[in-house]
Structure formats: structure tokens, C-alpha cells
């Protein structure tokens, strides 16, 4: 992977023209639908679009997106742009958000569960898959919401880290819906939407809707996602902000092709 | 072994360096490891050779003590491509190596136990015990006893299921493995298991004290210290906190996490268990050292096990049956009111229990505990335990969205702060039988190194700024100090050199959980940097820089 990235550079240099500046992207080599080393993820395609727009060649630094990702990528100066982070993410300087998605309920279509809320009475009897982060006292929103409702005994946890020797380790929670290990899973939209497009059995996905009795009230299920650059790199941030503004419709179309459920702020009830 | 002896006293009987001569102690030689992560390991000296292990990439060095300047005899690189790729992001420390029958035995971050020929550095055997791709790692120092190598895993945050494994020291083949969660047959609980307290008796508690299948990814790893009693043939070790669920998602005692096991060294069969933090709320691993002492209590001779716990109490436990004889606080505690000796249970304070989305202030001790992994020592001359520890409290606060593997998550974040007095670390001389402190030395930062007690009436330890200190074992007065190149989080040892003289050795090389602020150059304006250490360690980057070096000292003119 590193070789491939170097050769992109070589080609640019050997072509004889003015040495093209490269767009240096930091990405996980094994985490579809976001990115992989074959560049099959939507963040890869978005990076290509961005590189074309900036007239730069695309160069990757691959690193698993785990604790230490920011430090080992933009933090070391090896690359300049992370294609997806939550808006206002503290570890980097973030651009304006370029999409907003939401956690969703995923189930097999033939089950006709149509779960849309944590107050659905079916939840007390279904086997429910959820991802766990394992960072002390922090976890995925559905993990918090389920425990706040006392839904405990029928919950199956999947480490978001999974087995990194397998393709796209966070995808196991959706695999569990497909193979019947769980009846329902509550999953971050981009992952669920992408896998639902390609699943061996038809899946249905429904955004998690905010409800009156939701506790704790502070737990959000929809998140704005932005690009991230090194703190202080305002020049790159401005450039990316302009790209996002100009290519707003292209980006929406691109995300839709990958099945990313988009949640527009103007439609938010809360 | 890293802990000096099976009883883990870390007491050296050498006395050439003593309260009168220590002021003449000077550097004899040094050795640079070329590695910059935190150096927690104890050097090991056997047959006039010193063996060193570094944090990842886990280089092993053998140094010839018979020659001037202790030149390199051999070096070994275990090569771990997966770990180098960033699959294991944190906890890259290593706590030491062990010696058995002409071989040097140690663990690697990528879950291998390796035995090398001590003379040549050639591999004798390599046992692969897990998979780093699943978040499993190894950082602990093996204990070799009864011709077996006892090793355990790390990685509770990743949803790893904890175990202790015994390998045959001769060929590395697995003799037994005991899991610390799950059904009795996996935990090696059978008819010999006779825990002292009612709540630990019953069938398959390692499953039934968890909701549904949560035990399968429940933590309870073994990344700390082991002790061994040859007369009882029992091995003692602690288990880590439960994970990766939040506490409210895993109702129950979450056995057998955050407690102490006694097991038959030959068969692995569990004999007793004591849970210091049932249903742990605060990341209070139970992995700290067990010091085995023979004491007279109320006129009766007792075989005891002394454990300074992360939850803030020094436990004195009857090591034959697991009965808690006393549990006395050694720091300021707000999260619990004591330990009920009748039931053995920790008495928690309701309004200090963390709840998502609710700010809770002044929880003491903080998540790293009253005392983390840093091992204490015991001097039979003073009958005191020398505890290097923390003086930290924490606040729980709501957290902004964070992100991992493409997935946004939320919850509480923790911010650590100094406890009463405003300092973050202490070294305490503790009388385990009277249950009281005899003296205390305050340190600006957590005292994250081990201590060493010697027959010279001295106690050695290092600070995160890089001071290596010798204090009077009776009073705590600082008799000597030396500023090393980097902060000290290692374990001091003492040995007699081939020239007959006494030496003291210590790694410098800041790192570990708090030292990550320096090693990874984290932004200390971010109060949650290094999982909560940001504010507390604001000055540490000014006070020390990273880099691993071994320092060896002796008395000048000797």
C-alpha cells in the first residue's frame, strides 16, 4: 500500500512537468464503507473528487482508525486531511460539515419489525446487536439508550474494533442481522446503509427517532460529519470549505450511491 | 524475576550501599535502548549478565557485567509487523522478564511468550497465545515457578476475555489456561474452590453475574503481578476491570473481574477468589501486587497476602482461604465508605456513582486508582511496606462527540486532578499490621515507578520528572538523588556485581498511561488528553523529555 502511494508520487515527478503538489489523505486501509486500501470507500471517492478539484495527485497514509490515529497521521505531518470526523472534533481543525447522518435500526425486511424508536415495545423481546467502544465511560449512543431503558438481558455487544485481520471489522454487527444472530441492530447510518445495499437478504433501515421519554436527554443520534486537518492549518481548511460549498450536490449524490442515510438538519424535530 | 522473589517483597539483602555510604553513590555506567515509549521493566541480573527488555518493539539486550562498561553480549528483536501497523495503539509498555534454567523468558506486545537461550540469545521456543488483531496484547512480566511460566493477557478495553495461562517452562507447551469470566469449566472452578465469602459461591457465577453473553467480551485480563507460595503450591494474581460495557449495561458482580484468585500452580484449579471491586464502576483493575508475608495477628501466626488496591485500601488477606483480615484506606477516599469485613464487600457511596450525562465531581480515587501497577516493596528490617502511589481525584463530565473506526460515540469524559494537598503522587511507608502510615513523601506527579527496599536501610524510587531517589527507610528523609535523562516509571533493582560490590539499576524513560502526554506529545490544553490526564500533567512536557536509558549506580571508591 505504501509502495503504491510512493509510485503515485514517482509518476508525478517522472512525468517531467511541474512537480504536481499532492493531496495527502490519512485513511484506514480496512474500514468500508469509509475507506480501504483498494480505494473502494466513499471517503476514497470523495478524496478523488477533491484531488481533481484541487488539481493535485492523491497520496494516502494508511493507519487503522483507532486511538492514536490522529496522532500518528496528521499529528506526525505524514498527511494533511482526514476525510471524516465529527464536526468540532477536538483533536483536529474541522471544516464545515459536509453531511449529517444518524444511527439507524437495521433488521431483515421479511421480519416486518419496522422499529423506529427506543420506546417500541418489541425491543423487550428482540435480540438486539449494538456496538461497543470500550473507552472508559463513553460508548455508542444506542448502548447508552438501551441501558437507560433497562434493556440489558437481550442485548448483544460487538466491539467496534472487531478482528482487524478480517475485512472491515466494524461490519460484524450488520453481518449478525443478515445471518440471524440478532433480530435487530442499532448501527451508525453510513455503515448500515452501505451494507444493506449489498446484503445477501433484504434489510430495512429506519433512522432512530427522538422521542419524548428518551433518557438521558443529552444523547444525540444524528451527527454532523466534517473533514479534519491539522490544528492551525487554516489554509487547507478554507480550501476544503470552498470545495464542500461548491460541490454540495455532488457530495450528496456520491453519498447516496453508497447508501449513506442523510439526515438534514432542517428536518430535525428536536 | 521482576519482583525479586516469589513473595514479591522486592527486598535486597545487600547493604554495602546504606544510609552512611549512599551519599557517595555515583553512576557506574549507562545503556541507551534507542526506544522512546515508557520503560516500566525491571532489569534482570543472572550469572553476571544483565537482561533488559524494552517497550514495543520489545528488544531484549544481554549485557556482560564482567567487562568494563558492560558491553552487549547479544540482542534479540521479536519482530511484530501487526503491532507496528498501529493495530495496538496504546499500552505498549513491557514490565519485565524472568529466568529459568539457562533461559530468559518474556512476553511480546503481539501476544507471544518467548524463551531464549540466556547465553546466546537464540530462541528456545515461541508460544503464540492470542491475536493482536482482536485487540489482545501482553505487557506483564511472566512469573516462573514450579517449572511453569505463568502469563496473562491485556486489552480489556477492546472486549478481550481475560485469562491466566501456564506454559511448561521447558518447551512452551500450554499446561493449562484459566479464563476469568464464563462457565466454571473455563474458569477451572471445581470441588477444590472454596471462596471465603457467600457471594462467591454458586454455579457458573462467571456467567450468571453478567447479563446474557456479556462475559464473552468481559475483560478480567491479567496484566499485573503474580506471586507464588511454594509450601501451598498456590499462585496468586489479580484480574482487571470488567469491560467494554458501561457499568449500567452490565448489572451484577461481573465475576471474576477486579479481584484476586488463588490457584493450584500444577492444575490451575481455583482455590479461592476475593473481589475487591464487585461490579467495578471506576476502572479499578485488581491487578496490583500481592506481597506474601508470615505475620502474627492477635497472637496467631497467619500466612497473609498484602495488597495495596487501586480502590484505595490496603487489604491484608489470609492467603490460605481468602478471608479479608483488614482493609484500611491509604489515601483520601470519597467513592466508598470502607469494606465490610463480614461480607467482604466494598461499601460504595451512592452519589459518587457515575451516570451518563450527569456531572459528578470529586470522585476519589480517580480511575488510575489510589495506586496503579507500580509495585511496592517490603523490608523485613522495618516491617514496612513502601507504597509508590497516586493522590488523584476525578470529575465526570459530559463529552462532545468522539470518533473511532468511522463511528461517532458519546458519553462521559473524566478529568483527573490532584487530591488533598495539591500534589499528585506520594510514597508511603505503611505498617500493614497496624494499618497506618509511618511516613509519606509527596511528589508533584504520580509516583509511577516501583520501589526497592534494601538491607542498607534505604528505599529507592524514581519520579516522573526524572529524579532517582534514595530515602531513609525509617524516616523517608531523602539521602541521595540523581536527575536522569527522562522521567522514571521503571522498577529499581539491586545486585552484587562480579567485583563483589553492590549496584543499583533503574530504567529512565517516561511513558505509561500518564507519561503518554510526553511520549505522544499530547496537547495538555485538551483536558481529556491521554484519557483524562491533560490538566493534571500540564507541566510534564516541560519537566521531562522522552527516551529510554538504563542507569547503573555504585558507591564511589568501592
pLDDT bracket for residue A212 (50, 70, 90): low
Chain B CB contacts of A174 below 8 Å: none
Q: Do B412 and A220 touch (CB under 8 A)?
A: no
Chain A CB contacts of B526 below 8 Å: 90-91
b (16+ CB within 10 A) / e for B33-57: bebbbbbbbbbbbbebbbbbbbbbb
Distance CA B150, CA B161 (A): 17
Can you give the pLDDT at residue B20?
98
Can you give the pLDDT at residue A6?
42
Smallest Cβ distance to A134: which of B157, B358, B400?
B157
State the smallest CA–CA distance between residue B215 and chain A in angstroms: 10
Can you give the pLDDT at residue A10?
41
Distance CA B230, CA B212 (A): 39
State the smallest CA–CA distance between residue A18 and chain B in angstroms: 34
Can you give the pLDDT at residue A14?
42
State the smallest CA–CA distance between residue A2 and chain B in angstroms: 12
Q: Which residue shows C-alpha cell 520489545?
A: B58
Residue of B nearest to A2 (CA): B85
**A76, A79, A154, A164: best to mutate for the B interface, most B CBs within 10 A:** A164
Instruction: Tell me which of B64, B119, B123, B157 is the catalytic residue.
Output: B157
CATH superfamily of A2-99+225-261: Periplasmic binding protein-like II (3.40.190.10)
Alpha carbons within 13 angstroms on the beta-carbon side of residue A107 total 19
A159 close to B (CB below 8 A): yes
Cell matching residue B344: 467482604
Smallest Cβ distance to A134: which of B244, B396, B521?
B244
Distance CA B78, CA B128 (A): 12
State the smallest CA–CA distance between residue A127 and chain B in angstroms: 10
Can you give the pLDDT at residue B524?
78
Tell me which of 3.40.50.300, 3.30.70.890, 3.40.190.10, 3.30.465.10 is the CATH number of domain A101-207.
3.40.190.10
A1 close to B (CB below 8 A): no
Q: Which stretch of A198-212, A243-257, B328-342, B460-474 has the lowest confidence by average pLDDT?
A: A198-212
Report the side by side order of strands in the sheet with B270-275. Answer: B226-229, B234-238, B259-264, B270-275
Alpha carbons within 13 angstroms on the beta-carbon side of residue B406 total 31
Number of helices (H), then strands (E), in chain A: 8, 13
Helix segments in chain A, DSSP class H: 2-14, 42-54, 69-72, 141-148, 172-178, 189-198, 234-246, 248-257
**What percentage of chain A has pLDDT greater than the value 90?**
74
pTM assigned to the model: 0.94
Residue of A nearest to B156 (CA): A134
Q: Is A159 helix (H, G, I), strand (E, B) or coil?
A: strand
Distance CA A43, CA A40 (A): 8
Can you give the pLDDT at residue A148?
84
What averages of pLDDT result for each successive group of 10 residues across chain B (558 residues)? 94 98 98 96 98 97 98 96 74 93 97 98 97 92 98 89 98 98 98 97 97 91 97 98 87 97 98 97 94 93 97 98 98 97 96 85 95 97 98 87 89 88 97 96 98 98 98 98 98 97 98 86 74 85 95 88
Q: Do A170 and B406 touch (CB under 8 A)?
A: yes
Preceding omega of A33 cis (within 30 degrees of 0): yes
Cell matching residue A93: 481543525
Cell matching residue A26: 490519512
Chain B CB contacts of A30 below 8 Å: none
User: Is B94 an active-site residue?
Assistant: no
Chain B CB contacts of A93 below 8 Å: none
The backbone torsions φ and ψ at residue B396, rounded to the nearest 5 degrees and listed phi first, read -100, 130
Of B14, B23, B95, nearest in space to B453 by CA: B14
A216 close to B (CB below 8 A): yes
How many CB atoms lie under 10 A from the CB of residue B274? 25
Chain B CB contacts of A188 below 8 Å: 406-408
Chain A CB contacts of B246 below 8 Å: 137, 139, 143-144, 147
Mean pLDDT within A72-100: 95
A151 close to B (CB below 8 A): no
Cell matching residue B355: 451516570
Q: Do B409 and A169 touch (CB under 8 A)?
A: no
Smallest Cβ distance to A188: which of B135, B214, B407?
B407
Q: In this model, does residue A120 exceed pLDDT 90?
A: yes
Can you give the pLDDT at residue B398?
75
A222 close to B (CB below 8 A): no
Q: Do A155 and B131 touch (CB under 8 A)?
A: no
Residue of B nearest to A31 (CA): B405
User: Is B539 an active-site residue?
Assistant: no
End-to-end Cα distance, chain B: 27
A64 close to B (CB below 8 A): yes
Cell matching residue A83: 476525510
Please provide the average confidence, as pLDDT, over all residues in chain A. Answer: 88
Q: Do B400 and A88 touch (CB under 8 A)?
A: yes
A164 close to B (CB below 8 A): yes
Alpha carbons within 13 angstroms on the beta-carbon side of residue B110 total 17
Instruction: Tell me which of B107, B153, B180, B241 is the catalytic residue.
Output: B241
Cβ within 8 Å of residue B85, ≥6 positions away: A63, A64
Q: In this model, does residue A268 exceed pLDDT 50?
A: no
Query: Which helix (H) or strand (E) segment is B75 a member of?
Result: strand B72-76
A167 close to B (CB below 8 A): no
Chain A with chain B: Cβ pairs closer than 8 A: 196
Q: Do B245 and A138 touch (CB under 8 A)?
A: no
DSSP for residue B245: S
Chain B CB contacts of A91 below 8 Å: 526
Query: Which helix (H) or strand (E) segment is B540 a member of?
Result: helix B540-543
What is the interface pTM, i.e. ipTM, of the complex? 0.88
Cell matching residue B160: 478481550
Can you give the pLDDT at residue B185?
98
State the smallest CA–CA distance between residue A170 and chain B in angstroms: 7
Cβ within 8 Å of residue B185, ≥6 positions away: none
- Kindly list the distances between the CA atom of residue A14 and the CA atoms of A1, A23, A161, B251, in Å, as whole numbers in the listed order: 20, 18, 40, 63
- B104 Cα distance to chain centroid: 20
Of B250, B271, B247, B246, nearest in space to B260 by CA: B271
Of B307, B314, B286, B298, nearest in space to B437 by CA: B314
Chain A CB contacts of B335 below 8 Å: none
Chain B CB contacts of A154 below 8 Å: 212
Can you give the pLDDT at residue A136?
67
Burial class (CB in 10 A: 0-12, 13-18, 19+), B263: buried
Query: Which helix (H) or strand (E) segment is B529 a member of?
Result: helix B529-532
Distance CA B143, CA B13 (A): 21
How many CB atoms lie under 10 A from the CB of residue B389? 30
- A9 Cα distance to chain centroid: 28
Alpha carbons within 13 angstroms on the beta-carbon side of residue A89 total 29
Q: Is B349 helix (H, G, I), strand (E, B) or coil?
A: coil
A190 close to B (CB below 8 A): yes
Cell matching residue B230: 511454594
Preceding omega of B365 cis (within 30 degrees of 0): yes
Distance CA A104, CA B113 (A): 43
Smallest Cβ distance to A144: which of B85, B86, B411?
B411
pLDDT bracket for residue A12 (50, 70, 90): very low
Instruction: Tell me which of B110, B283, B289, B323 is the catalytic residue.
Output: B283
Chain B CB contacts of A216 below 8 Å: 355-358
User: Is B157 an active-site residue?
Assistant: yes
Can you give the pLDDT at residue A211?
64
Q: Do B158 and A159 touch (CB under 8 A)?
A: yes
CA pseudo-torsion sign A80, A84, A85, A87: positive
A157 close to B (CB below 8 A): yes
Q: Do B401 and A223 touch (CB under 8 A)?
A: yes
**B249, B413, B528: best to mutate for the A interface, most A CBs within 10 A:** B249
- Give ranges for CATH 3.40.190.10 in chain A: 2-99+225-261, 101-207
Going along chain B from its start, the domains and CATH numbers come out as 11-248+256-291+301-334+350-555 (2.140.10.10)
A37 close to B (CB below 8 A): no
B395 sits in the region (left: phi over 0; alpha: psi -120 to 50; else beta) called beta
Mean pLDDT within A128-140: 85
Q: In this model, does residue A267 exceed pLDDT 70?
A: no
Q: Do B181 and B162 meet the contact criterion of CB atoms below 8 Å apart?
A: yes
Distance CA B496, CA B50 (A): 11
Smallest Cβ distance to B406: which of A31, A144, A219?
A31
Distance CA B97, CA B86 (A): 24
Amino acid at each position: 500500500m505504501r509502495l503504491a502511494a510512493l509510485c503515485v508520487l514517482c509518476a508525478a515527478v517522472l512525468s517531467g512537468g511541474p512537480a504536481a503538489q499532492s493531496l495527502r489523505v490519512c485513511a484506514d486501509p480496512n474500514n468500508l464503507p469509509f475507506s480501504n486500501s483498494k480505494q473502494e470507500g466513499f471517503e476514497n471517492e470523495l478524496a478523488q473528487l477533491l484531488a481533481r478539484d484541487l488539481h493535485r495527485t492523491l497520496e494516502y497514509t494508511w493507519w487503522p482508525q483507532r486511538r492514536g490515529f490522529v496522532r500518528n497521521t496528521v499529528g506526525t505531518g505524514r498527511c494533511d486531511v482526514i476525510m471524516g470526523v465529527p464536526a468540532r472534533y477536538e483533536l483536529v481543525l474541522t471544516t464545515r460539515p459536509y453531511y449529517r447522518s444518524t444511527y439507524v435500526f437495521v433488521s431483515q425486511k421479511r421480519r416486518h419489525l419496522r422499529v423506529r424508536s427506543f420506546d417500541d415495545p418489541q425491543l423487550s423481546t428482540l435480540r438486539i446487536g449494538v456496538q461497543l467502544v470500550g473507552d472508559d465511560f463513553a460508548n455508542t449512543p444506542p448502548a447508552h439508550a438501551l441501558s437507560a431503558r433497562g434493556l440489558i438481558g437481550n442485548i448483544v455487544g460487538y466491539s467496534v474494533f472487531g478482528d482487524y485481520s478480517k475485512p472491515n471489522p466494524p461490519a460484524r454487527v450488520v453481518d449478525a442481522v443478515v445471518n440471524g444472530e440478532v433480530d435487530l441492530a442499532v448501527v451508525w447510518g453510513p455503515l448500515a446503509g452501505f451494507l444493506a445495499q449489498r446484503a445477501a437478504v433484504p434489510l430495512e433501515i429506519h433512522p432512530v427517532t427522538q422521542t419524548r421519554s428518551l433518557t438521558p436527554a443529552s444523547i444525540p443520534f444524528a451527527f454532523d460529519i466534517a473533514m479534519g486537518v491539522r490544528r492551525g492549518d487554516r489554509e487547507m481548511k478554507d480550501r476544503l470549505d470552498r470545495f464542500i460549498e461548491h460541490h454540495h450536490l455532488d457530495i450528496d449524490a456520491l453519498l447516496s450511491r453508497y447508501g449513506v442515510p442523510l439526515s438534514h438538519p432542517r428536518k430535525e424535530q428536536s | 524475576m521482576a519482583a525479586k522473589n516469589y513473595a514479591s517483597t522486592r527486598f535486597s539483602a545487600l547493604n554495602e550501599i546504606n544510609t552512611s555510604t549512599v551519599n557517595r553513590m555515583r553512576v557506574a555506567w549507562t545503556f541507551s535502548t534507542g526506544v522512546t515509549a515508557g520503560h516500566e521493566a525491571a532489569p534482570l541480573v543472572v550469572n553476571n549478565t544483565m537482561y533488559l527488555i524494552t517497550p514495543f518493539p520489545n528488544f531484549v539486550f544481554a549485557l556482560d557485567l564482567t567487562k568494563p562498561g558492560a558491553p552487549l553480549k547479544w540482542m534479540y528483536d521479536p519482530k511484530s509487523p501487526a503491532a507496528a501497523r498501529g493495530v495496538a495503539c496504546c499500552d505498549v509498555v513491557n514490565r519485565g522478564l524472568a529466568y529459568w534454567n539457562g533461559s530468559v523468558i518474556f512476553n511480546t506486545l503481539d501476544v507471544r511468550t518467548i524463551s531464549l537461550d540466556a547465553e546466546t540469545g537464540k530462541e528456545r521456543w515461541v508460544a503464540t497465545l492470542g491475536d493482536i488483531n482482536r485487540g489482545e496484547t501482553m505487557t506483564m512480566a511472566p512469573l516462573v515457578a514450579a517449572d511453569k511460566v505463568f502469563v496473562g493477557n491485556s486489552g480489556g478495553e477492546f472486549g478481550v476475555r481475560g485469562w491466566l495461562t501456564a506454559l511448561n517452562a521447558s518447551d512452551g507447551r500450554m499446561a493449562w489456561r484459566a479464563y476469568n469470566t464464563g462457565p466454571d469449566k473455563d474458569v477451572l472452578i471445581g470441588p477444590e474452590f472454596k471462596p471465603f465469602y457467600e457471594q462467591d459461591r454458586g454455579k457458573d457465577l462467571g456467567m450468571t453475574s453478567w447479563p446474557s453473553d456479556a462475559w464473552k467480551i468481559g475483560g478480567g485480563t491479567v496484566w499485573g503481578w503474580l506471586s507464588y507460595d511454594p509450601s501451598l503450591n498456590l499462585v496468586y494474581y489479580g484480574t482487571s476491570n470488567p469491560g467494554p460495557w458501561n457499568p449500567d449495561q452490565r448489572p451484577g458482580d461481573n465475576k471474576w473481574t477486579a479481584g484476586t484468585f488463588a490457584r493450584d500452580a500444577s492444575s490451575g484449579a481455583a482455590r479461592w477468589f476475593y473481589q475487591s471491586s464487585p461490579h467495578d464502576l471506576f476502572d479499578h483493575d485488581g491487578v496490583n501486587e500481592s506481597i506474601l508475608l508470615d505475620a502474627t495477628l492477635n497472637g496467631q501466626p497467619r500466612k497473609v497476602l498484602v495488597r495495596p488496591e487501586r480502590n484505595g485500601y490496603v487489604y491484608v488477606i489470609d492467603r490460605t482461604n481468602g478471608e479479608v483480615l483488614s482493609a484500611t484506606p491509604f489515601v483520601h477516599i470519597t467513592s466508598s465508605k470502607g469494606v465490610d469485613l463480614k461480607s467482604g464487600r466494598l461499601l460504595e457511596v451512592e452519589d459518587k456513582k457515575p451516570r451518563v450525562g450527569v456531572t459528578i465531581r470529586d470522585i476519589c480515587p480517580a480511575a488510575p486508582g489510589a495506586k496503579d501497577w507500580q509495585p511496592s516493596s517490603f523490608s523485613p528490617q522495618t516491617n514496612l511496606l513502601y507504597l509508590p502511589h497516586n493522590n488523584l481525584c476525578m470529575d465526570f463530565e459530559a463529552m462532545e462527540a468522539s470518533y473511532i473506526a468511522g463511528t461517532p460515540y458519546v458519553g462521559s469524559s473524566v478529568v483527573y486532578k490532584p487530591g488533598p494537598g495539591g500534589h499528585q503522587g506520594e510514597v508511603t511507608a505503611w505498617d500493614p499490621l497496624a494499618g497506618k502510615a509511618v511516613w509519606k513523601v509527596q511528589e508533584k506527579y504520580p509516583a509511577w515507578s516501583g520501589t526497592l527496599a534494601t538491607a542498607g536501610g534505604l528505599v529507592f524510587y524514581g519520579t516522573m520528572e526524572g529524579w532517582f531517589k534514595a530515602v531513609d527507610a525509617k524516616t523517608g528523609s531523602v539521602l541521595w538523588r540523581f536527575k536522569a535523562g527522562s522521567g522514571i516509571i521503571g522498577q529499581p533493582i539491586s545486585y552484587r556485581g562480579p567485583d563483589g560490590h553492590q549496584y543499583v539499576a533503574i530504567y529512565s524513560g517516561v511513558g505509561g498511561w500518564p507519561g503518554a502526554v510526553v511520549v505522544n506529545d499530547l496537547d495538555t490544553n485538551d483536558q481529556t488528553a491521554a484519557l483524562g490526564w491533560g490538566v493534571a500533567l500540564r507541566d510534564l512536557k516541560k519537566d521531562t523529555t522522552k527516551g529510554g536509558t538504563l542507569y547503573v549506580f555504585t558507591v564511589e571508591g568501592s
